[in-house]
Amino acid sequence: MKGTYRANTHGHFYNDTWNIDISWNEIIALLGPHLFQPLAEKTANPQLAESICSTLNKSGGLRYEIDSEVFNTMKIQLLALEYIDIQSLKTNSGGVAVFFTLTPLGREVMLRMRTVQSK
């Protein structure tokens, strides 16, 4: 997966890229906690990108984004794995947008990946 982020170091703004090998289960572990209620697609992309950048120690940025074609592939794969549902829903402003929610299987995988196992 690849994307970009914008950061500020001592008043100097710069754009940088990131790249990571990440499993589908790791993706749902990062995105899943944000999907307990419908999350707009336009919010899901930067949310997941920020979570990934945090794992790469690239936190503190101003804007995070996953490459749009990579994000579309990820969206289709998570749908095919039945980890998420995708719906067009009305927004608070009266428009329509695409929203993601966790499926029961997605919730199960996310919980398995995110919970602390007792010894």
Q: Taking a C-beta distance cutoff of 8 angstroms, is the pair 1, 74 a contact? A: yes
Neighbours of 100 (CB within 10 A): 23
The per-residue pLDDT for 61 is 79
Domains and CATH numbers, the chain: 2-114 (1.10.10.10)
The per-residue pLDDT for 32 is 96
Q: What CA–CA distances, in Å, run from 8 to 11, 55, 59, 62, 74?
A: 6, 19, 11, 7, 29
pLDDT tens by residue, 88-112? 999 889 899 999 999 999 999 999 9
- Kindly report the pTM of this predicted structure: 0.86
CA distance 61 to 63: 6
Is 73's pLDDT higher than 90? yes
Q: Percent of the chain having pLDDT more than 90?
A: 70
